[in-house]
Amino acid sequence: MKAMRWINVDNYSPPDTWLKKANAVTELLKSVKSKEERKKIIEDNSSLWRELKNDLFKLSHGKCWYSEAKRTVSFFDVDHFRPKNNVKALNWDGFETINIDEGYWWLAFDWKNYRPAGEITNRKNSDEDGVCRGKQDYFPLLKGCQCAANPNDTIEYEIPVILDPTVLEDSIIISFDMNGEVIPAVPNDTFEYYRAKITIKLLHLDNPLLTDARLYVWNYCKRLLDEIEKIILKRDAASPLIEEIKRNRLAELAELLSPKSEFSSVATACILQSKHLWAKNLLKFSA
């Protein structure tokens, strides 16, 4: 049951001209010693990651990689999954995390570190209780894992807490309920459970605007499922008109499940949690 649709980046690569420019800036960053110099170089070349913005959004059909929303999350940024300058420390209800302090400056121009994201999930904002939300410069790691503090360290040894939409196994860790709420889809008190809870809270995936939009999709999907089920149960009274209605409703369901549709993973969750066994066959067309 997925709330975060997997973004497959395996078949994408930026233009060679972009890669050459990005590699040149990265080598320049490695040649300087002070944090201030690195920060200035990154700021002076910030247009580079913006050049890939449209291409990266095409991979998600114009949706935020974290929330799967389009207009709901307003402005869009190119988030550096591993922050490029500074990393904020995170303390969350007694769950201990660690992080490096100065950021992953050597990944500032590595396109594989980019995650297109909406304003609600990425920028600093407050929830209805006045609690600060948004990914910002947070990148907590599991306490005890190895941290990559420079280009010579291996980031694969790190164990991130925030769920990554480009990692297939991360996309199954959160799901939805019938109220449009985003919930952990793993057993309580496991590491993956805490990853889900922290990601939901930090990225403000439980924002009321997002919840209401997901609830609309859930209810729409459920209405279609129930209508089709009624037609199936009255098969003896079938007619060309009834069959056309059924085909149209199935087409609407397929549209909700399409990767191009906003909150398509909500429709997926609705079908997975429904009592209609036939409906689950539709999921084979939604990859």
pLDDT in tens, 111-135: 999 999 998 899 988 777 777 889 9
Q: What angle do CA 168, 174, 176 make, to 5 degrees?
A: 130
Checking if the pLDDT of 82 tops 70, the result is yes
Of the chain, the end-to-end C-alpha distance in Å amounts to 13
DSSP for 102-169?
Answer: S--GGGTT-GGGEEEEEHHHHS-EE-TTS-EES-TTB--EETTSPP--STTS-GGG--BSS--TTSGG
The per-residue pLDDT for 184 is: 96
Kindly give the residue spans of alpha helices, DSSP state H, lying in the chain: 16-31, 35-44, 47-51, 53-59, 119-122, 191-202, 208-233, 240-257, 264-272
Q: Which residues of 97-136 are buried (b: 16+ CB within 10 A; e: fewer)?
A: bbbbeebbbbbbbbbebbbbbbbbbbbeeeeeeeeebbbb
The per-residue pLDDT for 207 is: 92
d(CA 34, CA 179): 50
pLDDT-based confidence at residue 103 (cuts at 50, 70, 90): very high
The per-residue pLDDT for 1 is: 45
pLDDT-based confidence at residue 72 (cuts at 50, 70, 90): low
d(CA 140, CA 170): 15
Please compute the mean of the pLDDT values over residues 52-56 and round it to a whole number.
94
Checking if the pLDDT of 110 tops 90, the result is yes
pTM given for the model: 0.91
Q: How many residues does the chain have?
A: 287
Name which of 24-38, 48-62, 92-106, 162-176 the model is least confident about.
92-106
pLDDT in tens, 181-231: 999 999 998 999 999 999 999 999 999 999 999 999 999 999 999 999 988
Q: Kindly give, in sequence order, each residue whose CB lies less than 8 Å from that of residue 227, ignoring residues fewer than 6 positions away.
A: 245, 249
Which residue has tokens 């998600």?
60
The per-residue pLDDT for 95 is: 87
Q: What are phi and psi of 171, to 5 degrees?
A: -70, -15
